[in-house]
Amino acid sequence: MLAGFLTLFTCQLAGEWLQRVLGLPLPGQVLGMFLLFILLCVRGALRDDAVPEGLSQGSQRLIELLPMLLMAPAAGVFFLGAGFADQWPGFIAAVSVGTVLTMIACGLLLKMLTRGRKQGHD
Amino acid sequence: MTELMHTPLFGLTLTLLAYQCAMWAYTRSGKMAMLHPTISGAVLIAVALKALQLDYFAYYQDINWLNFLLGPATVALAVPLYRQLPLLRELAGPLLVTLFFGATFACASALLLAWWLGATQETLLSLMTKSITTPIAITVTEEIGGITSVAVGSVILTGVAGITTISWLFERLDIRDDRLWGFCLGLAAHAIGTSRAFERSPVAGAFASLALCLTGAFTALFVPLAVSWFA
């Protein structure tokens, strides 16, 4: 698992370095994610399709931890202060109405695009 | 005791305790969307901080190294994405078109609705990432100058809005193919939607993870560029 962490940290470090050198407007860890994805694709094409055991375990552990890692930043919503009071209507409308509209639009578009192809398992 | 409450040890203990309680409530309720550990855990932390009269920003500083783990956790998302590669090839065209359209639509609809109801520029910047998974949303929001807490709140509530409406909605739209069902839920409602999709079927879950990773990657690329062009 520590070998997996080493891979993840190295990719993130490389991503942070690329971001600074190239002055990209993308976060370093997102670049790190792309780097790791490309590495896995290259490795898959040359040697072995399977994800290395350590990396598989390490990434699994971190992804399982996500709900906990997100709690503290989410708690911040309760501490936005009086300055945010007039922002709530827009905020609520965007996350509720916006999300429902997005699902309707995507569902209809994808249904139209896949018409005629064979149906997936129900 | 008062000094002890301002140490990382106290902050971490509080966080872990809140997580355990939240997990317990979530499992006991049969995984009710409103009790998702990120939501209920956040409420518990807020209540505890208010009760103990602690400063949120000081607490946030104390548990800084937990937030550090969000970086490698984001990198780790490359692993499930890589595992979905064969699934993607099969429906690549329609999925990519829907991805470009849907990720843009999610962003634009949120911006228009919030702007129309009088949100400030800072709030608007924090809403652009509402449909992508939180670790990516946090880093992108920091990059473009939004408010992290608002961004995380919008991501979580978007997830809740998605999973509580999709069954009813797609029944009306006559969309029953699990691949379509999962992809749309993962696209609009990221990780929370993905875990709901796995409850429907493994196929729905796989397509939701795929949409989660692709939407995250696309939005992370597109939002900072769009902001740097327009701002």
Residue B122, pLDDT score: 86
> Considering CB atoms only, which of B69, B106, B139 is closest to A62?
B69
Task: Provide the residue count of chain B.
Answer: 231
Burial of B199 (0-12, 13-18, 19+ CB in 10 A): exposed
| Phi, then psi, of B55 in degrees rounded to 5 | -85, 130
ipTM: 0.83
Task: Provide the residue count of chain A.
Answer: 122
* Inter-CA distances, A31 with A66, A83, B88, B160, B183, Å: 19, 34, 21, 28, 24
Per-residue pLDDT reduced to its tens digit, B179-231: 899 999 989 888 778 877 877 887 888 888 888 888 888 888 888 888 887 76
When pLDDT is averaged across residues B105-122 and rounded to a whole number, the result is 90
* B72–A73 C-beta distance less than 8 A: no
Residue B231, pLDDT score: 61
- Residue ranges per structural domain of chain A: 1-70
Residue B156 has pLDDT above 90, yes or no: no
* A63–B153 C-beta distance less than 8 A: no
Output the tens digit of pLDDT for each of chain A's 122 residues.
888 999 999 999 999 999 899 877 667 888 898 899 999 999 998 987 788 999 999 988 888 887 788 788 878 878 877 677 788 888 889 889 999 999 999 999 998 988 866 554 44
Is B150 an 8 Å CB contact of chain A? Answer: yes
Contact residues, chain B, for A60 at CB < 8 Å: 76, 79
